[in-house]
Amino acid sequence: MGGTQQDNMGIFSANRPFTARAIRVSNSMFLNRSVGELEKYFSGIGHRVFVMRLRQQDKLVESSPGLTIGRGDTIILSGRTEFILEDVSLIGAEVHDKALLDFPIEVLDVVLTDKTIEGLTLQQLAANDFTHGVGLRKLVRGDNEMPFTAGTKLDRGDVLTIVRPREAAFAPHR
């Protein structure tokens, strides 16, 4: 089921490595803190997750690092499913907010050609601002799909299948 060949026939795996969830913030640890502080906290425990959007006082707001999270705010937290499932209960309660979750994402195959990125590990690459909100679904080297970890080094010619918010929907984050 993991192959894209079957995806072309309209058949998809139910396993989705990335998700976005709406969470009403209730933990005082995250109230009156910035989006950047919340993301840094989770990064510090090894969870690369992102606040994509917020509902503040009934208004939909695009995320920015300096934006303060207040009482009653709902955030969209995105990242690897296993991290999000763990992190929801630390932040507050998951809620159904169709309008807040209604934003476009895209899946792209990107061929690595930049010699300044060649040789970096995925962890080093993830430290760059331009990867904010971007997740890696698959890494192909030559004709082989490669297992990957944060320590995997990148080679020129690698094909990275990424998932990210569609650029047109968001202003640059940082």
**Residue 87 gets which letter from DSSP?**
H
- The tens digit of pLDDT for each residue in 11-59 reads 878 888 889 999 999 999 999 999 999 999 999 999 999 999 999 999 9
State CA 148 to chain mean position distance: 17
> Do 18-101 and 105-169 show the same overall fold?
yes
Residue 173 pLDDT > 50, yes or no? Answer: no
Specify the CATH superfamily of domain 105-169: Regulator of K+ conductance, C-terminal domain (3.30.70.1450)
Angle, CA of 5, 6 and 8, to the nearest 5°: 70
Indicate the domain borders of the chain.
18-101, 105-169
Q: Alpha-carbon distance 80 to 105, whole Å?
A: 14
Collapsed DSSP state (helix, strand, coil) of residue 76: strand
**Degrees to nearest 5, angle at CA 144 with 83 and 119:** 70
Prediction pTM value: 0.80
Q: Are 31 and 69 in contact (CB under 8 A)?
A: yes
Query: Residue 14 and residue 29: Cα distance in Å, rounded?
Result: 34
Query: Pairing mode, if any, of strands 18-25 and 92-94?
Result: antiparallel
pLDDT tens by residue, 84-106: 999 999 999 999 999 999 988 88
- Hey, what amino acid is at 123? Q
User: Which residue from 127, 132, 124 is spatially nearest to 154, judged by alpha carbons?
Assistant: 124
Percent with pLDDT over 70 in the chain: 91
User: Max CA-CA distance within the chain?
Assistant: 50
Residue 8, pLDDT score: 62
The Cα–Cα gap between 137 and 15 comes to 11
In CATH terms, the superfamily for domain 18-101 is Regulator of K+ conductance, C-terminal domain (3.30.70.1450)
